C-alpha cells in the first residue's frame, strides 16, 4: 500500500519550483499484533528536504499521514539512544541519519532492530537488553568509608575506559550481532561495553566479580569478532576492541 503526501500542494508555481524538496519513498515494516499476526511493508511517499533526517520523515508520516505509526524517540539529537532502527538494512539512529546520505532515489527501508521481540511497528521489547546491562553491575563499587573528597584518578587511568563511557544504550550493536540473533541469552556487546567501563576504572573494586559474570557460557566467549557491533555503533565506540580487552583481562587477570 502506498500513501502520498505532497508538501508543495497549494503553493504557487514559483514557490513550488524553488522548493528544495524531493519525493522520497519510505518503505516501513509495519506490525500491529491487534490487527494481524504477520508484519507487512507499507510505502509512504513524501515530499521532503533531503537535508532532513529519517526521524523528521517519520514524524511527518506520523503527524500528517498515519498517526498509528509507532516508534520511539526522545532527544532527537543522538543522546538518548531510543531511536535505533534498521535503515536500508543497517542499524542506525533515525535522528542522526540524513536522508541525502542513504540513497533517497530508491525506496528507503525502515524496520525494527533485530533479535528483540517487535511489540509494534518499530518498537521492540528492550527488557532482555536492559536485563543483560543490569547483570554486569553498571555502577561504581567501592568499599570503606564514604570519601570526604573526590576519588582521584590520573589522566592515564581515565583514558583506559574513556571510549566505553560514550555508550548511550541504543542497542544498535547488540541487535546487529549474529550471535545475539541466534541466542538472545548472550549478554551482547552493549552489556560487555558497560562492564568494560567499570572493569578498567581504577577506582572500582568489583572488576573480578564482573569478569566472573562475563566468564559465563552466555558471556564474552560467545563473541565471534564479526565487527558488526563496531560498524553499528553511532557513538563510534570500538566495541570489538573493548570486548577483546575484557577477554584478555579474563585470561591475564590484569586490568
Q: Which is nearer to ligand FES, 194 or 210 (CB)?
A: 194
Q: In the block, which residue shows the cell 560487555?
A: 192
Q: Which residues is 4 bridged to in the sheet?
A: 45
Name the residue nearer to ligand FES (CB basis): 74 or 131. 74
Smallest separation (angstroms) from ligand SF4 to the CB of 74: 15
Pairing of strands 123-124, 118-120: antiparallel
> In this chain, which of 69, 93, 99, 223 binds ligand FES, going by CB under 6 A?
93
CB contact set of 3 (below 8 Å; sequence gap of 6+): 42, 43, 44, 45, 65, 66
Which one of ligand FES, ligand SF4, none is in contact with 220 (Cβ closer than 5 to 8 A by kind)? none
Q: Which of residues 58-87 bind ligand FES (CB under 6 A)?
A: 73-76, 78-83
Rule CB under 6 A: say whether 95 interacts with ligand FES: yes
251 is written with which cell numbers? 585470561
List the beta bridge partners of residue 109: 27
For ligand SF4, the closer CB: 32 or 117: 117
Q: Mapping DSSP to helix (H, G, I), strand (E, B) and coil, where does residue 98 land? A: strand
Output the CA torsion sign for 114, 91, 93, 52. Answer: negative
Q: How far is the CB of 187 from ligand FES (least distance, A)?
A: 23
Give whole-number Cα distances, 123 to 30, 73, 132, 166, in Å: 10, 10, 19, 23
> Closer to ligand FES at the Cβ: 233 or 249?
233
- Grid cell, residue 25, equals 519513498
> Among ligand SF4, ligand FES, none, what binds residue 75 when CB lies within 5 to 8 Å by partner kind?
ligand FES
Q: What is the DSSP letter of 39?
A: -
From the list ligand SF4, ligand FES, none, pick the one residue 237 interacts with, judged by a Cβ distance below 5 to 8 Å according to partner type.
ligand SF4
Q: How many whole angstroms separate alpha carbon 31 and alpha carbon 80?
A: 24
Angstrom distance (rounded) from CA 248 to CA 245: 5
Measure the CA–CA gap between 55 and 99, rounded to whole angstroms: 9
Tell me the helices (H) and strands (E) count for the chain, helix number first.
Answer: 9, 8
The nearer residue to ligand SF4, 69 or 179, going by C-beta atoms, is 179
76 binds, among ligand SF4, ligand FES, none (CB under 5 to 8 A by kind): ligand FES
| Residue 172 binds: one of ligand FES, ligand SF4, none (C-beta under 5 to 8 A by kind) | ligand SF4
Among residues 61 and 95, whose Cβ is nearest to ligand SF4? Answer: 95
Q: Which residues bind ligand SF4 (CB under 6 A)?
A: 81, 167-173, 189-190, 193, 232-233, 235, 237, 239
Indicate the residue among 53 and 230 with the shorter CB distance to ligand SF4: 230
**Residue numbers at the binding site for ligand FES (CB under 6 A):** 73-76, 78-83, 93, 95
Amino acid at each position: 500500500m502506498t500513501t502520498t503526501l505532497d508538501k508543495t500542494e497549494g503553493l504557487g508555481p514559483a514557490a513550488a519550483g524553488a522548493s528544495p524538496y524531493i519525493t522520497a519513498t519510505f518503505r516501513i515494516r509495519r506490525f500491529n499484533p491487534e490487527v494481524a499476526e504477520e508484519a507487512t511493508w507499507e510505502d509512504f511517499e513524501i515530499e521532503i528536504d533531503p537535508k532532513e533526517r529519517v526521524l523528521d520523515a517519520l514524524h511527518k508520516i506520523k503527524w500528517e499521514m498515519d498517526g498509528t505509526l509507532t516508534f520511539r524517540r526522545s532527544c532527537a539529537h543522538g543522546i538518548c539512544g531510543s531511536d535505533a532502527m534498521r535503515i536500508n538494512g543497517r542499524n542506525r539512529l533515525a535522528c542522526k541519519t540524513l536522508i541525502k546520505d542513504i540513497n533517497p532515489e530508491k525506496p528507503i527501508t525502515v524496520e525494527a532492530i533485530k533479535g528483540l521481540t517487535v511489540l509494534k511497528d518499530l518498537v521492540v521489547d528492550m527488557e532482555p537488553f536492559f536485563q543483560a546491562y543490569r547483570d554486569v553491575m553498571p555502577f561504581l563499587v567501592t568499599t570503606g568509608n564514604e570519601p570526604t573528597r573526590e576519588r582521584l584518578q590520573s589522566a592515564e587511568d581515565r583514558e583506559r575506559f574513556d571510549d566505553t563511557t560514550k555508550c548511550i544504550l541504543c542497542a544498535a550493536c547488540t541487535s546487529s550481532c549474529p550471535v545475539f540473533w541466534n541466542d538472545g541469552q548472550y549478554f551482547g556487546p552493549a552489556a560487555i561495553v558497560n562492564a568494560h567501563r567499570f572493569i578498567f576504572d581504577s577506582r572500582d573494586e568489583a572488576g573480578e566479580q564482573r569478569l566472573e559474570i562475563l566468564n559465563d557460557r552466555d558471556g564474552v566467549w560467545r563473541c565471534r569478532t564479526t565487527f558488526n557491533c563496531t560498524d553499528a555503533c553511532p557513538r563510534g565506540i570500538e566495541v570489538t576492541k573493548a570486548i577483546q580487552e575484557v577477554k584478555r583481562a579474563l585470561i591475564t587477570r590484569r586490568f
